[in-house]
Amino acid sequence: MSELSKQDQFLLEIQKVHRIVDMLVDKYEMRGEVVNIMLTGMISTDEFDEPVLKAVFSMDVESEDVLDETFDFLRFSYFFPGPEDEEWESENWYKDLLDSLGGIDPSLN
């Protein structure tokens, strides 16, 4: 049996993280309330030098409408990293919670 590549080892570890999130949803009996879309991976190329995504994903979304709303939120977050504005306070709801926990940076940067 061949040794797993560094990338494969990484994806196996990430799969454990995805399972932990799923177990937390069940632990807190929040199935149907929590929207969970996680995709973690890397882009590599195939034998034709075409980009290929090698990834682990998990998804718990109740409907296509919620999926669309989630993608809209992600797009907004990606394209609008501008300075904080009171007008966008609803998009930054988590910051007070993180401050109360000691100022944890959700991006882990």
15-58 pLDDT, tens per residue? 999 999 999 999 999 999 999 999 999 998 999 999 999 999 99
pLDDT at 79: 79
3-state DSSP percent of the chain in helix, strand and coil, to 5:
50, 20, 35
CB 74 within 8 A of CB 33: no
Among candidate residues 105, 107, 76, 69, the one with its CA nearest the CA of residue 91: 76
Element holding 81 (H helix, E strand): none
> pLDDT digit string (tens) for 81-107?
656 555 555 556 666 666 766 655 555
* Residue with more model confidence, 20 or 1: 20
pLDDT at 3: 87
- pLDDT the model gives residue 109: 39
What pLDDT was estimated at residue 101?
65
